[in-house]
Amino acid sequence: MKLIPIIFILLTLKNPVLSQNNKVDSLISVLNNSDIIRDGDYSGPTFMLTGPAVDLLHIGKAATDKLLTVLEDSTKGVIAHCILTDLWSLPIPSISPIYLENEHIVIFQLNDLTFYMKGKNVFANQRDLRLRSIFWKSYISKQRKS
């Protein structure tokens, strides 16, 4: 008889973890680089994160493993990189945007990833996404060991 309350307690404790994992999975499935939008003022173009990215930032580092899985995805990799940069508080010396007026493209470099914004399209070179993916997996592994 004592086993039933223990099982109930274990199931109750496990449920919030499963619930959060399901929420992260759901947010990752709809995450898109287009959730990075241009912003800016007199100092020049900047960007901000919107949509599911904001929810993932609120969840925090618990979303890290799922974000690592989409770093090389051409539709999610840039925004996953931006979220991880914020979550893991990597120092950002500066964000130096370059505006190519003739092509209406803004080029950003954030934590060694160069990405491009043209209208609502946000994209990066596949090689750069791959290199940042390698960096993130190594960096987070080292952080978790220390």
Residue 111: domain span: 32-145
How confident is the model over 40-65, as pLDDT tens digits?
655 566 788 999 999 999 999 999 99
* Count of domains observed in the chain: 1
Mean pLDDT of 58-77: 97
Work out the angle at residue 115's Cα, subtended by the Cα atoms of residues 112 and 121, and round it to the nearest 5 degrees: 160
Residue 8 lies in a domain: no
Residue 22 lies in a domain: no
Residue 57 lies in a domain: yes
Alpha-carbon span 82 to 49, nearest angstrom = 8
Residue 41 lies in a domain: yes
How confident is the model over 81-107, as pLDDT tens digits?
999 999 998 776 556 677 776 788 888
Residue 48 lies in a domain: yes
The per-residue pLDDT for 16 is: 53
Mean pLDDT of the chain: 84
